[in-house]
A = this chain, B = another copy of it.
């Protein structure tokens, strides 16, 4: 009952498997990452179900869709406002939990009504740094 109250949607086995995979997942997975993982348990699972479920989860604000990767959408079950630290070599994404109060001047605002901001930090992750060194 408690899950049902949390999610306000029918909790089918497929959806539960997807939710379980997403729960606490910090990897910012793509639809195909999710499909691959979940279809090991549920081989009959369809790709369409992954997309449908992500769509309703997004509609109910249980996941956020990221456009960090220009190849594919990635999804984030972490709804707390946060920012990202992105490895330019392997595209790994790490969360940064901090609030940046960034203000724009009137002339920078161009008449927009501003509702939020998101910061991407770019760099090289420790793994890729090690990889580089070993190539020298």
Contact = CB atoms under 8 A, between A and B. Distances in A.
A33 B11 CA distance: 42
Copies of this chain present in the complex amount to 2
A9 interface: no
A2 interface: no
Interface residues of A, number: 37
Given A70-B65, A85-B104, A110 B94 contact: yes
Centre residue among A70, A115, A120, A129 by max chain B CB count within 10 A: A70
Nearest to A67: B70
29 contacts: A65-B70, A66-B70, A67-B69, A67-B70, A70-B73, A85-B110, A87-B112, A88-B115, A94-B112, A96-B104, A97-B108, A100-B100, A100-B119, A104-B121, A111-B125, A111-B126, A111-B129, A112-B123, A113-B124, A114-B121, A114-B122, A115-B122, A115-B124, A117-B120, A117-B122, A118-B119, A118-B120, A119-B119, A119-B120
